[in-house]
Chain A
Amino acid sequence: MNVTLGVPRIKEIIDGAKNIKTPIITTVLECDNNAMIARMVAGRIGSTNLGQVAKSIGILMTPRQACIVIKLDMVMIRDAQLSIDVDVVKESILKVPRIKLKHENIQVPDNETLEVYSPDKDRRRLYFELYRLKSILPNVTVRGITTVQRVVIDESDVKKDKEDVQVKGADVVGKKYRLFAEGKGLLAVMSTEGVDGCKTTSNDIIEVQQTLGIEAARISIIEEIKYTMKQHGMNIDDRHMMLLADAMTSRGQVLGMTRFGLQKMDKSVLMGASFERTDDHLFNACVKGAVDKIEGVSESIIMGIPMPIGTGMFKVKHILPTT
């Protein structure tokens, strides 16, 4: 598994990046000690292309007809526990956008073969139409969630309990299986049969926010930063991360610490203007007639007022002499 770590990962989290480099959905299975079931569920989730399950895809040209013949490799399909047959393939081919094929263009002579005819009746362009289809067909997803690129089955050993001294033999009682799905589509993965939706998470914060809500996103930010730091052997007290996560999610959506995010976060014009995009902030504030209460640090520095943090948090009330 190739997860982004280190400074680039922290940058992704703090920026609230919408497209992270390695989005991974950790799926917990309902029945997690059976390898075959794990593979079946993996087959359901992971996207399989036609090119991977077909034995051959070739152009057949006879004097009477010209078509593309697809032969499926049923042995491989059975081994991989995928439940694919010719009808499923036909449906998925038809679902491909912009393929311009209709029901009658695909014929199913038997359980393993499909014949695809060109929709274009023009004789001259027949050859090249078939070539075009031939180059598209191997990439058609026949099974699984399209946004998930691949699924890895993770096998971990379950150590026996310390109290269970009666069981002799090896320390390992059994194996536990989890799936790591690379890609997006948390909602689809959670609702797949065989997956325990309540325990499945993703490391992509925006996805978590869209699927599970803003509070879940807040926890997810904290967990992700903790995980990244732990991989480098560093421990940070939770409160720092809680502060950051609260600041990022206080507005109802995950706002990154970039000038876009800060723009949405901030009420203060001068603080935004002193961060980035000075003229934009000032012009917008002018148009709106914004009022800047000098509450933050940046604007206090600009105006020369002691900052209301730390020792400046309190003021002394004078009792002025009456005369």
Chain B
Amino acid sequence: MVKSDLCWMKDEKADCEFDHGGYFIIKGAEKRVLSVYFKSAEIPLWIWFFALGVSSDNEVTDLIDYGKEDASISSILVASIRDADQRKDNFRRGKNALRYVEEMIKNTAFPPRESIEECISMYLFPNLRGLKQKARFLGYMVKSLLQTFRGHRKCDNREELKNKRFHLAGELLERELKAHVGHAGRRMAKALQRDLCGDRVVCLVEQYLDATVVTNGISRAFSTGAWCHPFKRMERMSGVVVNVGKTNPLQTMVDMRKTRLQVQYTGKVGDARYPHPSHWGRVCFISTPDGENCGLVKNLATTALVSTNILEPILPDFFSSGMEELVDDTSTSLHGKNKVFLNGDWVGVCEDSHDFVMKLRTLRRRKKLLHQVEIKRDEQLLEVRIYSDAGRILRPFLVVKNLNKIKESKGKKHTFQDLLGNGIIELIGAEEEEDCCTAWDVKHLFMEGKSAVKYTHCELDLSFLLGLSCGIIPFSNHDNARRVLYQSQKHSQQAIGFSATNPNHRVDTLSHQLHYPQRPLFHTMISDCLGQPGNPVSHNRVMPKPEYFNGQNAIVAVNVHLGYNQEDSIVMNRASVQRGMFKSEHIRSYKAEVENKFSLGKRRKPDDCINFGKIQSKFGSVDSLDDDGFPCIGAYLQSGDTIIARCSESGTDHSIKLTHTERGKVQKVVLSSNEEGKNFGVVSLRQVRSPCLGDKFSSMHGQKGVLGFLESEENFPFTIQGIVPDIVINPHAFPSRQAPGQLLEAALGKGIACGGQLLETSSWSTPRDKLLYATPFSTPSVDDITDQLHRAGFQRWGNERVYSGQTGQMVRQLIFMGPTFYQRLIHMSEDKVKFRNTGPVHPLTRQPVADRKRFGGVKFGEMERDCLIAHGASANLHERLFTLSDSSQMHACLKCKNAANVIDGTVDGSRIRGPYCRVCKSVDDIVRLNVPYGAKLLCQELFCMGISLKFETRLC
């Protein structure tokens, strides 16, 4: 894993600064492991109890300890006794029960090899040693089941996060590695046996161990994404490995925090897709993809941490805090005592759970117990549950009791670890959170006339419930959730921004770079936290790194403009574009491999030996290439040029040519060799693109739009100060989309740009110098924003008096204008334009191909056909689907009405050239039909199946 302890890149500074590591490099591609998270013989219950050594029915009911008075429960118990009786008579006596269980288990499909006693001790509740302890646990299980049945205990909800575990990369790798190492081990054993039996020479052990089994296995798992299933041996889970998205650094970070729920059938998942209250603060509510993975692929919230495996034992701490050990018999009554569970295993009992839990929590806050340990006290069920396993999501809370410690060390800089160590911040998991009484915000703790609730914890900040990509959106709590989802899922990941700080070292297939990226005017709490530690701090606030925002601030007017911005298109200022707004460059790399001279050995034919070299080629022009087959840096290549020239020794050309859509200036040429020893060369082409008609842009609120028109600057309406909008967006975009966040952002941005005044917020908090923050859920109110604008001399609500650019007259209506952060998305019209007159056809069906790269056509689908039918445009449809698609001719015999072939050969002595009917064996009476080639193909395919089509024709 890059930047892990074993990686040599750990301390290197030469690589891109945004790179946090956390991904793997497999065969040249960066791959990342998605965290995956989860959820045989039928033997009657009563027999189990007796197999475990309980001696009477009464004892069993004591162990279950529930509902002797309740009629329905007792009838259930009676029914299960009867069932057990039916299965096996006399199971109470002696070892009959045990033998019955043994019999049942041996009859299963994969019987275990151990004896029944070993089986029970190893597989049934393995951590409880004694049989009686196991009987007790079984009784506890039955009791829980009955309680649930009666409604006294809630069914465990599968969707609650407390019942789910996340598998991180380490655990998944461990599992995969274990499977492969086991496989290698078995092969080694077989090879050894072969040598031992067959009287052959036994070599050193190292020679038998085949390391490539493990390497290849893991390599394959990474390449395909099919991973070992945790429970089922034979199955593989797919989709575990994905490519790291490198469009912009924000996308990389968000990608790293993605998680995926593994379900077999994507149909009936139902409740798994819905958000659950336990997701608060742990998993972002809003960023989840639209479509079939909706609700299954989730992103971690900003401050959520996933727990890892701990190796130290923590049981001794329990005993010292007041736990008693579990006795190994069934007679002492445990009535009234609290059961203590560690990771689901019953480890002991304790008298006073409140005390016990308090002691453990104090230990944890003082760093004597690991922070990941989660302690939950369940008063209703008299249980204390403690979790220390890996895969739980924890999130930090402020501990109210220790808040006064902050005041002591004011003025010093704190790190998160410091706060954690002092007990000011605590990591709480989903299970323990149910015990906490949490305040929304620090100010609630200090309110006069406190409510009766005594708070134990406090949230750090409300906006931390969102994930990274949502938390950056200003005023997202004012927007329709759908728009926030679009922005966080799609637009932020498709925006063009900074790609990397070391573009000269990287060779990506496709990368984009905005020429003049800007930082937005607003801040949010989360955006302030982005960026590496050690950033220059100004006014106690860290300026967010501009590279995480992928766009520019544009002056946006909400206005109609000559009708060119209808239906979500925007009008842009041509002069701004000429000054470089949203100018971006796109770099595309082309790779070619060459066989190494030494790898093939003796089997070389002149044809196979391919090398880089320039030859005169008929395919494309080679004018820009050097003699070594690669172009010079700075050469301009376009469609039809050869980009990398390869030829074999015999002279055949294997060069790579550019298709009709690709062009660019050569940026970089790299020659290297890969791990298999083959040489390869990479050429990167660079294209600089200014915005042109059809390019897609979006604001930060899911308001995407396509450039509709580039208007000259003088034709735009201008304000008194002479400000002319850069982008004009249609007002119709706002009512149905319900995204007033954009308008608030523009108003706030305007105020900030004017240099806002000193502003007092609520009475107890420190006054902020400027109204800068647009954090969701704790934003400045509309009144604050309007006040700021008013003080700056603008109209309160952000409107401006404008004058028409074309006539100079004052426009009666005030226009809303303000600076808004806009992003350029990677969908550009130049990449998508498709045109075709006649062109390549599919060899099988002779219909036009569909690819853009190969001059394909546009699909005219069934629904389009239905539209033409509805209009009654029969001739148009006929032309579209026949004449312009695959019109061709076929021959049919009039006599037998079958299809006739066209042959050129000798039949019965005479040479025939032309249509010939094989059935009538004659060339007379054959007519030519105009049918689509698909029909002829259908006829021939049916003929192969044994179905013959006969044609009845009429002269037309």
A282-B942, A282-B947, A301-B865 are known contacts. Are A310 and B871 too (CB-CB below 8 A)? yes
Quick one: which of A131, A302, A312, A313 contacts B878, CB cutoff 8 A?
A312
Nearest B residue to A270, CB-CB: B938
CA–CA, A309 and B930, complex, Å: 20
A304 to B934, CA, bound (A): 9
Is A308 at the interface (CB under 8 A from chain B)?
yes
Question: Of residues A131, A303, A306, which shows the largest number of chain B Cβ atoms within 10 Å of its Cβ?
Answer: A303
Quick one: CB contact mask for B876-900 with A, threshold 8 Å, 1 for yes?
A: 0110011000010000000000000
Is A301's CB under 8 angstroms from B931's CB?
Answer: no
| B 924-944 binary contact with A (CB < 8 Å = 1; else 0) | 000000111011001000100
B934 partner, pick from A302, A312, A313, beta carbons under 8 A = A302
B947 CB contacts on chain A under 8 angstroms = 282-283, 286
Given contacts A286-B947, A301-B881, contact A307 B935 (CB under 8 A): no
- Indicate if B578 sits at the interface (CB-CB under 8 A): no
Is there an interface contact between B874 and A312, defined as CB atoms closer than 8 Å? Answer: yes
A311 interface residue, CB < 8 Å from B? Answer: yes
Contacting pair A307 B878 (CB below 8 A)? yes
Q: Are B931 and A306 in contact (CB under 8 A)?
A: no
Q: In the complex, A297 Cα to B871 Cα: how many Å?
A: 13
B residues 251-294 in Cβ contact with A at 8 Å: none
Chain A 294-322 interface residues, beta-carbon cutoff 8 Å to B: 297, 301-313
| Chain B 847-871: CB-based contact to A (< 8 A → 1; otherwise 0) | 0000000000000000001000101
**What are the residues of chain B within 8 A of A128 when measuring CB–CB?**
82
In the assembled complex, the CB of A87 is this many whole angstroms from the nearest CB of chain B, namely 31
Inter-chain contact A311/B882, CB cutoff 8 Å: no
Shortest distance between the CB of B887 and any CB in chain A (Å): 7
Selected contact of B938 from candidates A302, A311, A312, CB within 8 Å: A302
Whether B882 pairs with A304 at a CB distance below 8 angstroms is yes
Determine which of B874, B887, B938, B945 lies in contact with A308 in the assembled complex, contact meaning CB atoms within 8 Å.
Answer: B874
A283 vs B946: C-alpha distance in the bound complex, in angstroms?
9
Mostly, the A contact residues are: helix
Q: How far is the CB of B803 from chain A (nearest CB, A)?
A: 44
A307 contacts B932, C-beta separation under 8 Å: no
Assembly CA distance A286 to B949 (angstroms): 9
A309 engages B935 (CB within 8 Å): no
Contact B869 A310 (CB under 8 A): yes
The yes or no answer to B872 lying at the interface (CB within 8 A) is yes
CA distance A297 to B873 in the complex (A): 12
Residue on B nearest A307 in the bound complex, by CB: B874
Which residues on A sit within 8 Å (CB–CB) of B877? 301, 307
Is B320's CB within 8 Å of the partner chain A?
A: no
Cβ-defined partner of B872 (8 Å) among A282, A304, A306, A310: A310
Residues of chain B within 8 A (CB-CB) of A310 are: 869, 871-874
Q: How far is the CA of A313 from the CA of B877 in the complex (A)?
A: 14
Query: Which residues of A, 267-302, contact B by the 8 Å Cβ criterion?
Result: 282-283, 286, 297, 301-302
**Distance A246 CA – B945 CA, assembled complex (angstroms):** 37
Give CA–CA (A305, B879) in the complex, Å: 10
- Check if A303 sits within 8 Å of B871, measured CB to CB: no
Can you name the residue of chain A whose Cβ is closest to the Cβ of B883?
A304
A312 to B871, CA, bound (A): 12
Query: B599 contacts which chain A residues (CB < 8 A)?
Result: none
A307: chain B residues within 8 A (beta carbon): 869, 874, 877-878
Q: Do A306 and B874 touch across chains, with their CB atoms under 8 A apart?
A: yes
Closest approach, in angstroms, between the C-beta of B292 and any C-beta of chain A?
Answer: 19
Nearest neighbor of B879 in chain A, beta-carbon distance: A306
What's the tally of chain B residues with a CB closer than 8 Å to chain A? 24
B163 within 8 A of A: no
Rounded to whole angstroms, the CA-CA distance of A305 and B931 in the bound complex is 8
Nearest A-chain residue to B881, judged by Cβ: A301
> Within the assembled complex, what's the spacing in Å between the Cα atoms of A310 and B866?
13
- Residue from the list B871, B878, B938 in contact with A306, Cβ < 8 A: B878
Instruction: Kindly state whether residue B205 has any CB partner on chain A within 8 Å.
Output: no
Chain B residues positioned under 8 Å from A282 (CB to CB): 942, 945, 947
Contact A312 B881, beta carbon cutoff 8 Å: no
Residues on the A chain within 8 Å of B932, using CB: 302-304
B75 within 8 Å of A by Cβ?
yes
B875 at the interface (CB under 8 A from A): yes
The CA-CA distance from A286 to B874 in the complex, in Å, is: 30
Determine if B931 and A303 form an interchain contact, defined as CB atoms under 8 angstroms apart: yes
Tell me, in angstroms, the Cα distance from A306 to B882 when the chains sit together.
Answer: 9
B869 to chain A, nearest CB (A): 6
Contacts of B865 in A (CB 8 A): 297, 301
Note all chain A residues with C-beta closer than 8 A to B930: 304
B875 touches A303 (CB 8 A): no
**Contact string against B for A residues 6-45, beta-carbon threshold 8 Å, 1 for contact and 0 otherwise:** 0000000000000000000000000000000000000000
CB distance from A292 to the nearest CB of B (A): 9
Judge whether A309 and B931 touch: CB under 8 Å. no
Is the pair B882, A309 in contact by a Cβ cutoff of 8 Å?
no
**CB distance B874 to A311 under 8 Å?**
yes
The contact string, 1 if C-beta is below 8 Å from chain B, for chain A 167-211, is 000000000000000000000000000000000000000000000
Residue on B with the closest CB to A283?
Answer: B947
Query: What residues of chain B lie closer than 8 Å to A304, measured between beta carbons?
Result: 878, 882, 887, 930-932, 935
**Which residue in chain B gives the minimum CB-CB distance to A301?**
B881
Q: How far is the CA of A312 from the CA of B874 in the complex (A)?
A: 5
Expressed in whole angstroms, the Cα–Cα distance for A307 and B881 within the complex equals 11
* Among A128, A131, A305: residue with most chain B CB under 10 A: A305
- What residue of chain A has the Cβ atom nearest to residue B874's Cβ? A312
A309 to B867, CA, bound (A): 13
Complex Cα–Cα for A134 and B935 (A) = 68
> What is the CA–CA distance of A303 and B871 in the complex, to the nearest angstrom?
21
Chain A's nearest CB lies how many Å from the CB of B72? 11
A306 touches B75 (CB 8 A): no
Complex interface: chain A residues within 8 A of B873 (CB): 310-311
- The CA-CA distance from A16 to B495 in the complex, in Å, is 48
Partner of B869, one of A305, A306, A309, A313: A309
Chain B neighbourhood of A306, CB < 8 A? 874-875, 878
Task: Tell me the smallest distance from the CB of A26 to a CB of chain B, in Å.
Answer: 33
Which single residue of chain B is at the shortest CB-CB distance from A293?
B952
Report A242 CB to chain B, min CB distance, Å: 16
Q: Are A312 and B887 in contact (CB under 8 A)?
A: no
| Known contacts A307-B878, A310-B869; 11 further A-B pairs (Cβ under 8 A) | A282-B942, A282-B945, A301-B877, A302-B938, A303-B935, A304-B882, A304-B887, A307-B874, A308-B874, A309-B869, A311-B873
What residues make up the interface of A, taking CB atoms closer than 8 Å to B?
128, 131, 282-283, 286, 297, 301-313
| 29 A-B interface contacts by CB (under 8 A) | A128-B82, A131-B75, A282-B945, A282-B947, A286-B946, A297-B865, A297-B869, A301-B865, A301-B877, A302-B932, A302-B934, A302-B935, A302-B938, A303-B931, A304-B878, A304-B887, A304-B931, A305-B878, A306-B874, A306-B878, A307-B869, A309-B869, A310-B872, A310-B873, A310-B874, A311-B874, A311-B875, A312-B878, A313-B874
Q: Which 3 A-B pairs have the closest CB atoms?
A: A310-B872, A312-B874, A306-B878
List residues of B whose CB falls within 8 A of some A CB: 75, 82, 865, 869, 871-875, 877-878, 881-882, 887, 930-932, 934-935, 938, 942, 945-947
